Amino acid sequence: MGKRSFEILDVTLRDGSHAMKHAFTEEQVRETARGLDQAGVTYFEVTHGDGLGGSSLQYGLSAVDELKLIEAAVEECKSSQVSVLLLPGIGVKEDLQEAVKVGAKMVRVATHVTEADVAAQHIALGRELGLKTIGFLMMAHMAPVEKIVEQGKLFESYGAEVVYVTDSAGYLLPHEVKERIAALKNELTCEVGFHGHNNLSMAMANTIAAVQAGATYIDGSLRCLGAGSGNTQTEVMVAVLERLGYNTGIDLYKIMDVANDVVAKYMHRPQEVTGSSLIMGYSGVYSSFLLHTQAAAQKFGVDERDILVELGKMKAVGGQEDLIYDVAQRFALKKSSLV
């Protein structure tokens, strides 16, 4: 097929963990991994939605130990390689070492967009372990372009081989993605990537903007399975980018088959732009807050949209899930005082 124009990295088995309430079974992981491998996907990610070590009461307990799922995915691959996500403070260096023992070949070290400095030792360890090592700047809408460039340079100085603009809230619009990707391309010598969420129905347009601005790593999930309204839809992305004249290196029919014959059957619900996820994109709220917010709204009898708008005003970030319940309780108290 010739040289690929870029790498499409599939995150169904990691970002999709949020939508699946972290309840992937080993068989679901094996079937999905097998399909991704047969379709020609070079890298795909397998971990708890919040990365290595994410299984907890705060973030949600995994039904199956993630090392077992990583190992199962690796066993199904003839050519694909398995990536893991690591958020410093949630996952620790020992978690990464254990993931490598069961076959992980890539690590994406994720920090808030202004906190790349907390990842220096994790990036260094990734390189030391021989992994493809990536820096992931989350909630990229929350910092100006100059700050993103500054933080990207830090990641590169620590040894990151790719730096990602991560639209964790699905808040960015195409011109904003283009501006951020282009700035990193101009200022860094390493490669640049983009990870989008579809809360404003912009994920595909944003991904195209990223590619046109020079991104060489782009993320997708099968059937959009991911936090909030999900990610750029992998199988649709392949078709769109091939139509635009790019070589994805992925077999369209085979990637459609794993999306429709495997993933669609185990999804808890269709991935749609719904009232709550739309408000997440509009307010700039972390996409993985969706299910937590719905649970809090039900518990306290308040409108989940009010919670999300307030979290947006507070500029809440990943790791602050406890704020969701604080805000819900505050709205409930206010509501009862008006009765």
Q: What string of DSSP letters covers 278-291? A: HHHHHHT--GGGHH
Whether residue 319 has pLDDT greater than 80: no
Q: Is the pLDDT of residue 1 over 70?
A: no
Reading the block at residue 21, the tokens are 């309430």
Task: Say what the pLDDT of residue 37 is.
Answer: 98
Residues at the binding site for Mn(2+) are: 15, 195, 197
Q: Could you tell me if 187 and 235 lie in one domain?
A: yes
Mean pLDDT, residues 187-204: 98
Low-confidence winner among 53-57, 169-173, 222-226 (lowest mean pLDDT): 53-57
Binding positions for substrate: 14-15, 168, 195, 286
Q: Does the residue 172 lie in any domain?
A: yes
Domain of residue 306: give its range.
275-338
Q: Which of 206, 231, 265 is the last residue of a domain?
A: 265
Give the 3-state secondary structure of residue 193.
Answer: strand
| Residue 190 covered by a domain | yes
Measure the CA–CA gap between 114 and 112, rounded to whole angstroms: 6
Give residue 2's pLDDT. Answer: 65
- State the Cα–Cα distance between residues 327 and 83, nearest whole angstrom: 35
- pLDDT band for position 339 (50/70/90)? low
pLDDT digits (tens, 9 = 90+) for 139-159: 999 999 999 999 999 999 999
In a domain, 259, yes or no: yes
Digit-coded pLDDT (tens) for 6-35: 999 999 999 999 999 999 999 999 999 999
Does residue 208 sit within a domain?
yes
Residues whose CB falls within 8 Å of the CB of residue 144, separated by 6 or more in sequence, listed in order: none
Q: Where residue 332 sits, what CATH number does that domain have?
A: 1.10.8.60
CATH number at residue 68: 3.20.20.70
Residues 96 and 21 in one domain: yes
- Residue 270 falls inside a structural domain: no
279 and 219 share one domain: no
Percent of the chain topping pLDDT 70: 99
**One domain for residues 66 and 194:** yes
**Catalytic (active site) residue 18:** yes
pLDDT higher than threshold 80 for residue 99:
yes
Global pTM value = 0.94
Distance in angstroms (rounded) separating the CA atoms of residues 251 and 54:
33
Please, which residues bridge with residue 10 across strands? 44, 220
- Which of 73, 77, 51, 55 has its CA nearest to residue 65? 55
Around Cβ 245, how many Cβ atoms within 10 Å? 7
Pairwise CA distance, residues 323 & 339, whole Å:
25
Pair 137, 64 in one domain: yes
Q: Which of 18, 22, 141, 292 is catalytic?
A: 18
The domain boundary, picked from 237, 265, 293, lies at 265
Query: Could you tell me which residues are annotated as the binding site?
Result: 14-15, 168, 195, 197, 286
Angle, CA of 18, 21 and 26, to the nearest 5°? 100
Q: How many domains does the chain have?
A: 2
Q: Are residues 45 and 186 located together in one domain of the fold?
A: yes
Q: Which residues contact 326 (CB under 8 A, 6 or more apart)?
A: none
Q: Is 231 helix (H, G, I), strand (E, B) or coil?
A: strand
The DSSP annotation for 17-55 comes to HHHTTT---HHHHHHHHHHHHHHT-SEEE-S-TT-TT--
Residue indicated by tokens 């992925």: 250
- Does one domain contain both 247 and 295? no
Residue range 260-301, pLDDT digits in tens: 999 999 999 999 998 888 999 999 998 888 888 999 999 999
Two tokens, residue 284: 């700039």
Q: Is the pLDDT of residue 116 over 90?
A: yes
The per-residue pLDDT for 301 is: 94
Same-domain status, 182 and 299: no
Cα separation values, 160 from 108, 154, 330, Å = 9, 9, 42
Which residues in 308-333 are b (16+ Cβ under 10 Å) and which e?
A: bbbbbeeebbbeebebbbebbeebbe
What's the pLDDT band for 73 if we cut at 50, 70, 90? very high
- Token pair in block for residue 107: 């690590």
Among residues 242, 265, 288, the one where a domain terminates is 265
